[in-house]
Structure 1
Amino acid sequence: MDPPNNPIELKKQSCHDKKVLLVCKILQNPPTKMTPKGFMFHFVSSENSKITYLRRYWSTITGVKGAMNLVRALSDEIKETPLRRSLWKDLIQEQATKILIKEEPTRGLYPDRGTQTCVIVPFSGKEKSVP
């Protein structure tokens, strides 16, 4: 979809809007057309060293705050219809379940490759009798 050609509408657009529309127009150029979602997905998931370099600040405190704002904006956009709200809820429940499972206390002799507890270490008869 092309931006409106009405000169009054063009003047109302912010610099950010103009840049976004330009990027979207470039994404539609052959030979490899890309949707904005496809672009964003590739940007955040690519292992290309130049692209990962562009994401380097996402792990800083400021970068994480900006990334969380992006997630909130996506959440608001996604949850506009009942079907999409339901799908969003399913995703959040899936993620919450994964978090809770990871927080469950570890079990076994060597939990998470940790050391063996002294409770199950066998001692000699002499050492067992020491209070």
Structure 2
Amino acid sequence: MEVALVWNMEALERHDADLRAKVARLRSGRTVDRERVTENAAYGLALVAISALMPGRRVITMCRDEAPDFVLDATPGALRGVEVAGRSSGGLSALRAVRLEKGPRLIARKDIAEAHLSLWCADPRVSELYQVKP
């Protein structure tokens, strides 16, 4: 399934007159917030993916220090959730590397019954959602 997200810059500029300059700074890498923005975008897109691709599922909590990032069901010993990762560049090869790193860790965890990976890259703009367990 493909989900296309777009925005209207003119409408957004009505709320922030400096928006284009801020976007240009972020895209050029001339700000310390670039990676934080990438991370936040990945979280936002993961929430969109959960809503669009996992009907009936809801995020009940967010874990910042361990996987999965978004918990869908906190049944003790049988967690269900979505681990999120964002990269500012690298495209599908960067996402594949993340999947190969994080997927086996989620599979190995005995306390996780179901795990998904939501991966996003800013340049080029690509994203993927994988169920890695069961």
Q: Same fold (TM over 0.5)?
A: no
Q: Which has the higher contact order (CA 8 A, sep 6+)?
A: 2
TM-score w.r.t. structure 1 length?
0.28
Tell me which protein shows more helix as a share of its residues. 1
